[in-house]
Chains A and B, each alone.
Chain A
């Protein structure tokens, strides 16, 4: 089901000061996709999610889930969370410690007054779906973190809601389990006909899991796009920097070359993609990610986007070196293959991949 949000505003009062958690948000979350709200802590992403579920009440605006308006300040509509028919997985999983796995998962069905027989078959089906069949009579607190997470998922899905919401569900798992669960979750969700809204501050999680990402900052949505678009063609400096490691170099657009443009910078002219269509003569910024900077032993090959620099620091991290290279006054971060013969203080030639660096409005 599609979720449409119009003019949503929410203020907090803390120590007499007003903090705007959500600032006039307009957003449409398309049906049957995995939609992620990504942003640094305190950007309002969890508040937005809780407004959609109904656990928090906005100060102004309108929220519609499918055809039903669930919140509207103008029309005076408030549908309480229990009437919205959604599923949600909490950061703490919120598994009820006094119930068994079965009781936890059966709870939403009991609230809908289903027959015991139907509850049994449905719970069994969803426990099997999250690969927890046979765990019915375990006390819920006797499970591992990953298992509790799957109980929470089964409980959120069991009533077959049209929308499921996730509030940083993986942040309590350790790194290895987090990666596995991420893959599993992606598999579970793509198998279902369901709209998923997912909140996280972890950019890798967002990239790996989502069909669409909305990046939030200070109560506003900065940019919405699919993972590749956000990573490679972002039109916002904050987003480009937040979604991955980035070298941002200031300059002025000199000329257009089809989908590319030449930008004149402190270290010389650089050719990159121009997805925003920035006009020549305007101030702009070039974003190049460390993994798209190639190293050359000599400058013999020549050509565009080739720069000579001095290696300031070099860290060996196993699969690569992480180097900081000074080109003129500009310090560029790059990953260097461990097979390349380099030393700290040594000279190096860098070439920027013209199809994987891009221009941003300054």
Chain B
């Protein structure tokens, strides 16, 4: 009892420090004159930031980019979810695969692979098509808003799918059946009944993808920047990372609008998802929806979905693998294959900065995820099992960082760390990572805690087991799946972290994703690809090791 009363406030202090302090520092920083000093309140940075003649174009591009990505991701997800839950299409496991890709391929590598395929000067696919049709100019230019929207939309597809697929499968089919019985045909039923009932889920998906693409840095920096298309995230990055004097005050002032927009959108999302209870149509009786028979369109549809999974999973890895063996980007032909070598791999493995980045990222992934999961265990325990008013505060605090765009929060942390000995150390990155990704650890763990019904513990006590035995034999074994999936999620996120790192990483604390970005900026595609493949392999190895460990632990 006494321990609990200390635990909740202690966690509120820790989580509050992690999530609130960067925001407070961001606000303070945006009103300060110089970096690292808070002397003299001034609104000069706001004036400077918001009278920038370029800003209106940047805001417009940001709006087009985020809304476009939301449309692409949501429409694709709607189509996939409908085909999966409501038709008799074979090979339904494809859909599961599509929903976990972001776990496997880091966004920056996915963006790079599209640059390698479709950039206007030497994109592999562009070159190939030019040769095929005898064209003088490239057919596609990935360095454009549509290019950015396409790639971001594909990357955010799983988020939209994970919202829409459960909504679609929980849909009470009798609503549609009664529409059919009233004389409406399939199409009319779809547009007048199905889609309107799914409206809250569709809106939630659109908003969440807007939040994600607003925070996205990989696509705007790898695809947008070469085409001189700037969105808020890359605009902030430009202010702090290029030119002679990085202006963290102006960056903070610009970041405030991204932060406010993001928080408002997440609030709207929360409102809509709670509102959607009104629309809940799932009924407890076991119903089996009548599957739409696809007949002749079955195989074309299957082909389309196969192509999509191919484009999403196989193409990026293949392009990277192929490029890593070549001295420069070229169309696959006899000459290209004759030039293949391991040269890029050797160069990466001998490059001290790449090796340092590898070491740092590995350390951040393993140590960061471990610390993050430990914190998540305590926070989830308080949220799920203690359930006091203070626990409610902790819950809101710990999910706050979900709505913070990474680069903005990075600028906030920069203002915080600059006056501390943590500045430019790997610990600064570690703290930032745990703060920004805490919701990803808390979610699987709190659902694990929810599953441990209090009767399971009580029953153990009545059987004669003391508190320690109950913890060891009952609680921890039941928590292990949650711990493992939380750890995997955090470790893979940390291993490929880019948006916070581009701000917080300094010479000596390079990490993998930042090093890959440097290679992209310098056009060193071969080395980039080699390092990228190494990153994917390490990430997959971590996932495999963690799940094996989890299996071994639950066996006992």
A residues with a Cβ closer than 8 A to B are: 53-55, 80-88, 90-92, 94, 96-98, 107-108, 111-112, 155-156, 159
Contacts and interface: CB of A to CB of B under 8 A. Distances in A.
B111 to A, nearest CB: 42
Nearest to B555: A98
Nearest to A152: B459
Nearest 4 interchain pairs by C-beta: A94-B459, A94-B455, A111-B464, A108-B463
20 contacts: A53-B462, A54-B461, A54-B462, A55-B461, A81-B461, A82-B461, A82-B466, A83-B464, A84-B462, A90-B458, A91-B455, A94-B453, A94-B458, A96-B456, A96-B474, A96-B478, A107-B460, A107-B465, A111-B463, A156-B462
Contact of B463 (A55, A91, A98, A107): A107
A59 to B, nearest CB: 15
Nearest to A88: B462
B289 interface: no
B462 A98 contact: no
Interface in B473-495: 473-474, 477-478
B396 interface: no
Contact of A80 (B459, B460, B461, B474): B461
Interface string B438-458: 000000000000000101101
Nearest to A91: B455
B37 interface: no
Nearest to B456: A94
A166 B469 CA distance: 24
B421 to A, nearest CB: 45
Given A90-B455, A92-B455, A111-B469, A98 B478 contact: yes
B464 A108 contact: yes
B186 interface: no
Contacts of A55: 458, 461-462
Contacts of A97: 478
B121 interface: no
B257 interface: no
Contact of B453 (A92, A98, A111): A92
Contact of A82 (B453, B462, B478): B462
A81 B458 contact: yes
B554 interface: yes
Interface residues of B, number: 18
Contacts of A85: 464
Given A55-B461, A96-B459, 20 more contacts: A55-B458, A82-B461, A82-B464, A83-B464, A84-B462, A88-B462, A92-B453, A92-B455, A94-B458, A96-B456, A96-B478, A98-B477, A107-B460, A108-B463, A111-B463, A111-B464, A111-B465, A111-B469, A112-B464, A155-B459
Contacts of B473: 107
Contacts of B554: 98
Nearest to B466: A82
A90 B459 contact: yes
Contacts of A111: 463-465, 469
B380 to A, nearest CB: 19
Contacts of B469: 111
A346 B554 CA distance: 71
Nearest to B462: A88
A159 B462 CA distance: 11
Contacts of A108: 463-464
A273 to B, nearest CB: 43
A47 B200 CA distance: 42
A139 B466 CA distance: 24
Contacts of A92: 453, 455
Contacts of B464: 82-83, 85, 108, 111-112, 159
Given A55-B458, A90-B455, A92-B453, A82 B477 contact: no
B482 to A, nearest CB: 13
Contacts of A80: 461, 466
Contact of A159 (B461, B463, B477): B463
Nearest to A167: B455
Contacts of B466: 80, 82
Nearest to B469: A111
Nearest to A111: B464
A92 B456 CA distance: 9
Contacts of A83: 464
A83 B455 CA distance: 18
A277 B469 CA distance: 57
Nearest to B451: A97
Contacts of B465: 82, 107, 111
Nearest to B453: A92
Contacts of A107: 460, 463, 465, 473
A265 B463 CA distance: 56
A88 B554 CA distance: 26
Nearest to A86: B462
A160 to B, nearest CB: 12
Contacts of A96: 456, 459-460, 474, 478
A84 B478 CA distance: 26
Contacts of A91: 455
Contacts of B460: 96, 107
A84 B463 CA distance: 9
A97 B475 CA distance: 11
B26 to A, nearest CB: 38
Nearest to A55: B458
Which residue, A54, A87, A96, has most C-beta atoms of chain B within 10 A?
Answer: A96
A15 to B, nearest CB: 11
B473 to A, nearest CB: 8
Contacts of B459: 88, 90, 94, 96, 155
Nearest to B556: A98
B456 A81 contact: no
B460 to A, nearest CB: 7
Nearest to A98: B477
A134 B463 CA distance: 23
Contacts of B462: 53-55, 81-82, 84, 86-88, 156
B465 to A, nearest CB: 5
Contacts of B461: 54-55, 80-82
Contacts of A88: 459, 462
A55 B474 CA distance: 17
B45 to A, nearest CB: 47
Interface in B413-458: 453, 455-456, 458
Nearest to A92: B455
A47 to B, nearest CB: 14
B477 to A, nearest CB: 5
Nearest to A108: B463
Which residue, B462, B473, B474, has most C-beta atoms of chain A within 10 A?
Answer: B462
Contacts of B463: 82, 87, 107-108, 111, 155, 159
Which residue, B455, B463, B465, B477, has most C-beta atoms of chain A within 10 A?
Answer: B463
